[in-house]
Each structure stands twice: as structure tokens, then as C-alpha cells.
Amino acid sequence: MATTITVRQNGSYKVEGDDVKLVDWNGNEYTIPKRPFALCRCGHSKNKPFCDSSHKEVCFVAAEAAQAVGDDTPSAL
Ligand code: FES
């Protein structure tokens, strides 16, 4: 399975892929509790770098969507 990272609307980064490993700045590997897993994007997780759903409590808002290939419509600012 190819690795896919999905930017969730108002939420975490969902990471899918059996060959994905997550390392810290020293190259030490985190234990992945389950797959797929989610990484915190809001900065409020008490279990960083993993998402613990705290983004819901803080009403994290981030809904930037990728522009579709071939779509030349200007992005909203
Ligand atoms: S994105 Fe879920 S806790 Fe930060």
C-alpha cells in the first residue's frame, strides 16, 4: 500500500501505509499504536506527535484544500 497522508478538515494528518515509520529529530523511532494513525496538526494534543482529538475541544479551524490538478481557479485568500 502506498503511503498516503490526508490533511483532515479542521483536524489531524491521517497517515496510511504499512511501510511508514515515524522518527524524532535524533532518528529514534516512535512506537505506532495502530495503523492508520493520526498526527497532531493543532498543537494541543497531550500525546504529541499523535492526535488525541484535542482539536475538537479547542475548535481547531484549518480547512485549506488542495487545488485539483488542472484546476486553474485561483485559490481563495
Ligand atoms: S490535531 Fe488532533 S489533537 Fe491536534
C-alpha closest to that of 56 among 15, 5, 8: 8
Cβ–ligand 1 contact at 54 (below 6 Å)? yes
Residue type, 25: W
Pick from 14, 44, 57 the residue to mutate for probing ligand 1's pocket: most ligand atoms within 8 Å of its CB: 44
pLDDT tens, 3-59? 999 999 999 999 999 999 999 999 999 999 899 999 999 999 999 999 999 999 999
**Entry pTM:** 0.85
Rounded distance, CA 41 to CA 71, Å? 26
Question: Residue 54, exposed/middle/buried by CB under 10 A (0-12, 13-18, 19+)?
Answer: middle
* 40 vs 72: CA distance, rounded Å: 31
